[in-house]
Amino acid sequence: MKIKSATKILSDNDVGATNSHQAGFLIPKSLIKHGLFDALPEKVLNPRSRLKFLDQTSQDVFYVNFIHYNNKLFGGTRHEFRLTGMTKWIKENGLRGGDSIEITRNSLFEYSVNIQKANRRAQNLSQESWILLYGEEA
Q: What is the number of alpha carbons within 13 Å of residue 56 lying toward its C-beta?
A: 12
Within-domain flag for 137: no
The helix or strand, by DSSP H or E, that contains position 33, with its residue range, turns out to be helix 29-33
pTM: 0.81
Within-domain flag for 92: yes
Predicted confidence (pLDDT) per residue in 68-109, tens digit: 999 999 999 999 999 999 989 999 999 998 888 999 999 989
Cβ count within 10 A of residue 127 = 6
Domain of 38, in residue numbers: 5-119
Put residue 34 in one of left, alpha, beta given phi > 0 → left and psi -120 to 50 → alpha.
alpha
Within-domain flag for 133: no
Within-domain flag for 138: no
Within-domain flag for 127: no
Total domains in the chain come to: 1
Residue 57: DSSP 8-state: T
Average pLDDT rounded to a whole number, residues 47-59: 96
Closest alpha carbon to 37 in 5, 10, 69, 63:
5
